[in-house]
Amino acid sequence: MNSFASKLCHLNSKVESLVTKQDALESKLNSLDKKIDSELKLLAALHVKVDSFSKNPVTTNTPIPEAPIPLNLPSATDEDVRQLVLTVKNDINVTQSLEKRLTSYGGDTARKCVYAIVAGLFEDDILLKYTWKGTTDKLPFEKLT
């Protein structure tokens, strides 16, 4: 009989452990349910805002004039590169005009687009002097930014 009581006691402790774990799981599920409800409300509010933007698009009747780009492009010398960096850092209008010009360059792949943009900014001879980090005895583009 002692063995039966021992097994019953062990079984009772297992049941209590399972009940405790079940309570913890229920608590976590309730917390998750509240978070999901909150996120769904935010998503619904965002959806309403997106709908209002699509129904009332912002338009401007005056085009922003493109600023002239006072740079020698593509850059052929170290001085041209320094001037390009200084101008991009200091003149937002030229920077925006340059961005507009560079985004018009195309290609079938991202790689070809990047090559077209780089070719629009730098001559091959100047590119041979630079790498991003300045490895292999080359100048670092990274430090120009």
The CA distance from 46 to 32, in Å, is 21
pLDDT in tens, the chain (145 residues): 678 888 888 888 898 999 999 999 999 999 999 999 889 888 888 888 877 777 766 565 555 566 677 777 888 998 888 888 888 888 888 888 888 888 888 778 888 888 888 888 889 999 889 888 888 888 888 887 6
Locate the domains of the chain by residue range.
1-59, 78-144
- Give this prediction's pTM: 0.49
Please give the C-alpha separations between residue 125 and each of 69, 75, 78, 122, in angstroms, as whole numbers.
22, 9, 10, 8
